Structure 1
Amino acid sequence: MSLALWIGLVTLVGCENNSTRQMPEAAPPPLPFTGPRFLHGTVGSMAKLRGYEPQLVSGWGLVVDLQGTGSSDVPEYLRRKLINEMARKGMGNPRLNAKQWSPRRVLSSRNTAVVAVYGLIPPGAVVGSTFDVWVTALPQTQTTSLVGGRLFTADLAIDGTNPNLSFSKPYANAFGDTYVSPVVDDVRKESLKYSHQRTAVILSGGSVTMERKLQLVLNQPSWARSRRIAERINQVFERGVSDRNQTAIAQTDLLIDIHVPKRFAGDVEKFLELIQHLYVQGGVDFEPVQAAELGDVLKNFPHQAEHVMLAWQSLGRTALPPIRRYYADEDILVRMTALEAGTYLEDGLAVEPLIMLASSLDEDVRARAGRLLVEHPRSAAATNHIRHLLNDASDKVAITVYEALAYKRDPLFIQRKLMGQGTEFKFMLDIVEAQRPRVYIGQGKTPRIVIFNSYAGFKTPVFASLWDSRLLVKAMEPNDPMEVYYRPWTSDDEPVKEARTYTIAPTVANLIFLMAQKQTLQNPTDGLNLGYSSVVDAIYTLNKQDKLMNKLIFQENPLAVQVAEARKVEFTPTRPETAPGGAGSGGQNDSNMDLPAVGPDDQRLPAAPTRSEFGSDRSGRSLEDENSHEDSGQSGMGAVPLP
């Protein structure tokens, strides 16, 4: 063989070796299962949820009904948009008898304010789901306060506060009364007080108008696995009569669409957790064995209690025999985990162990046991202990039990009056059957004022003056009728409105009803027609003066807490044409508007005046008539004007 041929062969081999060495190694295939080993075989170990994140939406809006604290300042880039928006919704239309409220006149009033509106659509929200929204006066306007205002319906979209006003499809809308917390003791500097009143929260003010797609993405593509997972989900979470789609639909070998059944609309998070902890394998030969194995995991690894409980609940009632073994376990965490799983599976044998725990010296244990006892409406023993827990010395225990009852809308313990209807809804007034007097200001998904002991009154003598003497409250003796004087606020260009004096029974419940009540043909009882924020402010002021027999308890709204923190940070005014992302620079993101990070709202609370908590009473009967006798507000709660 010639020398040239040898050289060619060596060169060729060398090139092949170099190319072989330079080729990157192939990435390992994705694992079929992820997560803890005891959850392998569940939907969550084979797939991940997509679309399960809160969605930031925003938009421009108009707050009306202010008391001279607004501004006629409207940025030019917003004026035309707002005028068109108000005209589209009927303002200024003579056919609707709204000619006197022309859009231009409204914008020029000091009783209105242009605002930016922000909200976080909850994960898995369906059409009609509600969420809190945050409104803030624009920095370049002279608005001084949003107290007592009402947001005109505003559309919310992704990047909806872009100064370029580029169109974005609305995902939600927002409206309702602004709420500014009266608890401002820490706001001492004048500049901070000014900032405090220029931002507000609208509790449950946002409403979802477009459903967000929820999907499961498999770890490995497989048509067989995709179909099997969908079949198992549909087997356990069947489509309801009013549901349009199957709960799970296998779209590809990698994607499964998830549709939340309407019966879970009030607790989407719980539904999605159950799906992720659902074992794809099922059957009477599998579920009891798997439940026993989960019990061993719980005993050996108590920190996995939440995962074990959800997996137990997903297995169904055939898993109850192994779960019951832990109802009397010496480890309180193990015992409570088993009892919560058994309660979800409607096991009546869980009642007696829960009653024993409801007498614990630990208030956390009593609170959790009480919450679970509410889930046993057919047990007379559970009902009796609920009554004791509502009178518990611990506020935490009493409020936790009330929250569980409110979610069920239990008429045995709660008399409810809706203050306002539809778009004029203000708050729920709940009267709780209890002896220990409390007033609970609820600021979760639905604004509420809760009275424990409807007969509780005031520490007399009472003489309180509020809002520059526009509201006067007087009661000299414990059993004397209470006199309430009110003079409505009027602007300089309006005629003075007539002041009136009312007399009512001297109870906190009657005073709250009088302040919020609006006289209508359906409910002719007269009242002051004040909003939630004003009513809370009045009760808070009376409490500061030590005039309430009831203990006042505030539930801090998570969004309101974040807004309070944000007020401590200086908001730098910017002009649209000079702001980052302003005109000519491609738009401004919502994040540039100094929106505070928002945490999750309290769970298992009602969503809105006509939503999931109006589901059933303690015997499971339908409660569709919201204007039934227990909601009429006529049970000694009327107000009669003095002659």
Structure 2
Amino acid sequence: MWCHRTSRREFLLGSLVVLGGCSTWDKLNMLVLRQVPPQEVEPYPRQTRLVGDLAVPFNMHPVVLESVGLVTGLRGTGSDPKPSPQRDALLSEMHVRGVKSPNRLLASGNVSLVLVRGVIRPGIQKDDRFDVEVRVPSQSETTSLRGGYLLQTNLKELQVLDNAIHSGHTYATAEGPVLVDPAADPKKDRVLCCRGRILGGGVALKSRPLGLVLRDKSIHDAATIEAAINRRFHTFDRGLKTGVARAKDDQYIQLTLHPRYKDNVHRYIAVLRSVALRESETERIERLGVLQRRLMDPISASRAALELEAIGKPAIEVLLQGIQSPDPEVRFYAAEALAYLDDSRAAAPLAEAARNVPAFRAFALAALSAMNDVSAAEKLREMLDLPSAETRYGAFRALWAMNAEDPAIRGENLRGQFSYHVLDTAGPPMVHVTRSRRAEVVLFGRDQALQPPFTLEAGNQILVTCREGHEMTVSKFAVNEPDQKRVVPARVDDLVRTIVELGGMYPDVVYALQQAKACGALASRFEVDALPEAGRTYSRGEKAAQDQKAAQEAAGPGALAAHSPLPDLFARTESKPSEDEVPRGGGSGSRNDPGAETSAKPGPFGALWNRLRGHSAE
């Protein structure tokens, strides 16, 4: 929520100049925590002030990086780009990289100029990966990017001025195979065929700093905030204990991301802003009593839990009372705060919330993944067997974030193409693929058979056939290469491995699996990014709902009940198209959008991509 006091906003925006001419990479984003209606909250001791009373977050907005790139390996579906600033920029880059005869290469029909776009999340660290989107310009004659590979390109902040592209510093690089909607037909769905995604294809070249900006300049207040935060949070740098906050001047405090919050940066900032500036032991005990009463009220529980988490270990006993509450909402918020304090007693109530309350699922799983605890890992392993697709895959992702080498989910990297995990689970068989964060295939159930007859394509060069029996033939036909053929058991595991063995990439594997499901060869459930979702509504009792509505109406339209910040672990990368994103002559009909909890037979793969882009294909 943005601050609505005009003078304060103008002052904070003006502070960008004071901070030394920051680029749009460093634009100020003010996050004001939503407050519980005052009549529902017991007042604190008057002397208690929090960090959030003096400072607002800095650099908490997503940053868009762009570039012009070259996709190769298109086998006649590319085009020679028309004269434009984008073509000039690409030719300049090709000359810098020493490409011989660049104009001849562009005219070959096997490459295409593409516009590359990546979104850098707040708190990203050096060498972290992020998704990259590619699309052809509106004037392009390219018919499909399927089977293409984006050559390495530098991602920058770009602006077009005076019919020329002006770029800033290079913040990341991008490269990798382009994943195009497998269901898209080049003759009917040219829009979908001319755009795609490279999962984890972007690599950050530098860490993106987090910070706090004081509302009013004050060396004293900056030092006070630094000391207050460092009493609560620290990290280790080369074995030395170091506080996470450092006052750089009289208005800016630089923050280091604490490892426990690496997948929940917004919660980290919310907790830091809930730290008391200074407080005696007596005052803290008094405030703990107030927070205990607020925690037991579902309407104020989320905000109270954040402040208790900010207090740290002295608040654990109060939070333990919360997980004994008969109210599911109170139990969840108390357990969530306990998890970020790494208390093992949070595991059971969080697992209960993840299983039974969809509104809490994403937050509960993210909190479990933040724990360094055996009981939390065991609860996540148990959820791998559940019938709910988003619960079991959410548990998988949480386990992977906790410990990628956990024996229950440990996978392998297939020839550098993607992560491949075959799990021994007791639940119904399921095949899961991703379209965000990283290229990944997960088999829930080891021996998943394919039912003949079927014929599948895996990209532009690989064909899979099976007429009858329990064996299939995987063949590769490539120009200027000898034909290759493999006869392997008709199982999903063998299909995936053989496609990669013959040179196939992640998009080829996904394409083959989608076809197998569509033609009935794959009996197992097939899911794409079955992620737990935020934004779902938890239904309280009628009396509680009426009380909350009355409290919010009395407090005014700007007062909303606090809630847990969205964890980055399950955040979806979305973008909306601009007017120039549709190639000429392209179009496709709209499609339905199946959710994560779909039936065993999923809808068209393209509909899931539409959800990613935030619109229907037109």
How far has the Cα of 1:542 moved from its partner?
0.3
Q: 1:168 and 2:189 equivalent?
A: no
* Correspondence 1:201 to 2:170: no
Q: Aligned-pair distance for 1:434?
A: 0.7
Q: Which residue of 1 aligns with 2:513?
A: 539
What residue is the counterpart of 1:57 in the other structure?
65
- Match 2:485 to one of 497, 501, 525: 501
- When residues 303 and 128 of structure 1 are mapped into structure 2, their CA distance, relative to the original with a 3 A threshold, is farther
2:557 maps to which residue?
Answer: none
CA distance in 1 between counterparts of 2:435 and 2:393 reads: 13
Q: Distance in 2 between matches of 1:109 and 1:473?
A: 32
Partners in 1 of 2:393 and 2:520 — Cα distance? 22
Q: Distance in 2 between matches of 1:203 and 1:214?
A: 25
CA contact (8 A) 1:327 1:353 kept: yes
In the superposition, relative to structure 1, how do residues 270 and 161 fare at CA in structure 2: closer, same or farther (>3 Å)? farther
Q: Quick one: distance in 1 between partners of 2:334 and 2:460? A: 57
Q: Which deviations, in whole Å up to 9, do the C-alpha atoms of 1:40-63 show, x marking residues without a partner?
A: 622223211122211222121111
Residue identity matched to 1:448:
E
Judging changes above 3 Å, is the alpha-carbon distance between structure 1 residues 597 and 548 closer, same or farther for their aligned structure 2 residues?
closer
Task: State the secondary structure of the residue aligned to 1:546.
Answer: coil
- The SS at the match of 1:322 is helix
Query: For residues 72 and 526 of structure 2, what CA distance do their matches in structure 1 show?
Result: 30
Report Cα offsets for 1:600-622 as digits up to 9, x if no partner. Answer: 9xxxxxxxxxxxxxxxxxxxxxx
Determine the structure 2 residue equivalent to 1:485. 475
Deviation at 1:86, TM superposition (A): 2.6
Q: CA deviation at 1:160?
A: 4.9
Alpha-carbon contact 1:363-1:394 (below 8 Å) kept: no
Q: 1:34 and 1:414 mapped to 2: Cα distance?
A: 37
Q: Is 1:411 paired with 2:419?
A: no
Partner of 1:108: 107
Preserved contact between residue 60 and residue 160 of structure 1 (Cα < 8 Å): no
Equivalent residues in 2 for 1:190-589 (5 A)? 193-242=189-238, 247-261=244-258, 264-281=261-278, 287=284, 289-300=286-297, 302-353=298-349, 378-379=373-374, 385-408=379-402, 409-421=404-416, 426-435=417-426, 436-464=428-456, 470-474=462-466, 476-477=468-469, 480-488=470-478, 490=479, 495=480, 497-516=481-500, 527-555=501-529, 562=575
- C-alpha displacement of 1:442: 1.9
Match of 1:166, SS state, is strand
Contact 2:347 2:368 in 1 (8 A): yes
- Cα 1:357/1:209, change in 2 over 3 Å: closer
Q: Is the 8 A contact 2:458 2:504 kept in 1?
A: no
Structure 2 CA distance for partners of 1:284 and 1:459, relative to 1, 3 Å: farther
Are residues 1:117 and 2:116 paired?
A: yes
User: 1:464-504, CA deviations, whole angstroms, 9 ceiling, x for partnerless residues?
Assistant: 46668950232733xx343322223x3xxxx3x22221133
Give, in whole Å, the separation in 2 of the partners of 1:306 and 1:568.
Answer: 43
For 1:222-268, what per-residue CA distance to the aligned partner results, in whole angstroms no more than 9, with x for missing partners? 22221010122223222422599863222333222223356755543
Deviation at 1:364, TM superposition (A): 5.9
SS of the counterpart of 1:511? helix
| Structure 2 residue matching 1:73: 3-state secondary structure | coil
Q: Take 1:35 and 1:352, find their aligned partners in 2: how far apart are those partners?
A: 28
Greater Cα radius of gyration, structure 1 or 2: 1
Flag the 1:354–1:48 CA change in 2: closer, same or farther, 3 A. closer
Q: Which amino acid aligns with 2:61?
A: E
Q: Secondary structure in 1 aligned to 2:296? A: helix
- Contact 1:125/1:268 (<8 A) preserved: no
- CA shift for structure 1 position 164: 0.7
The amino acid that maps onto 2:487 is: T
Is the Cα contact below 8 Å between 1:243 and 1:262 reproduced in 2?
A: no
Displacement of 1:28 in angstroms is 11
For residues 261 and 513 of structure 2, the distance between their equivalents in structure 1, rounded to whole angstroms, comes to: 35
Judged with a 3 Å threshold, the aligned counterparts in structure 2 of structure 1 residues 391 and 61 are, in CA distance, closer, same or farther, namely same
Distance 2:239 2:121 in 1: 21
Q: CA-to-partner distance for each residue in 1:556-591, whole Å, 9 max, x for gaps?
A: 79877646x769985689xxxxxxxxxxxxxxxxxx
Give distance in 1, aligned partners of 2:217 and 2:33.
Answer: 15
Deviation sequence 1:615-643 (CA, Å, 0-9, x none): xxxxxxxxxxxxxxxxxxxxxxxxxxxxx
Q: CA deviation at 1:211?
A: 4.2
Tell whether 2:150 aligns with 1:151: yes
CA contact (8 A) 1:35 1:45 kept: no
Separation in structure 2 between the aligned mates of residue 501 and residue 597 of structure 1, nearest angstrom: 37
Structure 2: distance between partners of 1:135 and 1:308: 43
Q: How has the CA–CA distance of structure 1 residues 105 and 304 changed in structure 2, closer, same or farther, with 3 Å as cutoff?
A: farther
Q: How far apart, in 1, do the equivalents of 2:280 and 2:580 lie? A: 57
Change in CA separation of 1:58 and 1:372 when aligned onto 2, cut-off 3 Å: closer
Q: Give the secondary structure class of the aligned counterpart of 1:552.
A: strand
**1:178 paired to 2:152:** no
Note the C-alpha offset of 1:305. 3.8
Q: 1:200 & 1:399 partners in 2: Cα distance?
A: 24
Counterpart amino acid of residue 435 in structure 2: Q
Residue 347 of structure 1, CA deviation = 1.9
- C-alpha deviation, 1:509, in angstroms: 2.1
- 1:330 deviates by 1.0
Shift in alpha-carbon separation, 1:310–1:431, aligned structure 2, 3 A: farther
The 1-side partners of 2:194 and 2:378 are apart by 47
Distance 2:258 2:371 in 1: 23
Backbone CA RMSD of aligned residues: 3.8
Query: Quick one: which amino acid aligns to residue 120 of structure 1?
Result: V
CA contact (8 A) 1:133 1:202 kept: yes
The DSSP-based 3-state class of the residue aligned with 1:171 is strand
1:156, 1:170 within 8 Å by CA — same for their partners in 2? yes
Change (3 A) 1:468 1:110: closer
Q: Distance in 1 between matches of 2:457 and 2:213?
A: 61
Q: Is the 8 A contact 1:34 1:45 kept in 2?
A: no
Report the Cα distance in structure 2 between the residues aligned to 1:268 and 1:471, rounded to whole angstroms: 44
Separation in 1 of the partners of 2:312 and 2:272?
12
Contact 1:367–1:396, Cα closer than 8 Å, also in 2: no
Q: Tell me, yes or no, if the aligned pair for 2:452 and 2:468 is still in contact at 8 Å.
A: yes
TM-score by length of 2: 0.73
How far apart, CA to CA, are the structure 2 residues paired with 1:225 and 1:448?
47
Q: CA deviation at 1:368?
A: 6.6
Match of 2:138 in 1: 139
- SS of 2:113 mapped into structure 1: strand
Provide the rounded CA distance (Å) in 2 between the counterparts of 1:560 and 1:342.
Answer: 29
Quick check: 1:196–1:567 contact (8 Å CA) kept in 2? no
Task: Give, in angstroms, the shift of residue 288 of structure 1.
Answer: 5.3
Residues paired across the two proteins, number: 512
Give the SS at the match of 1:61: strand
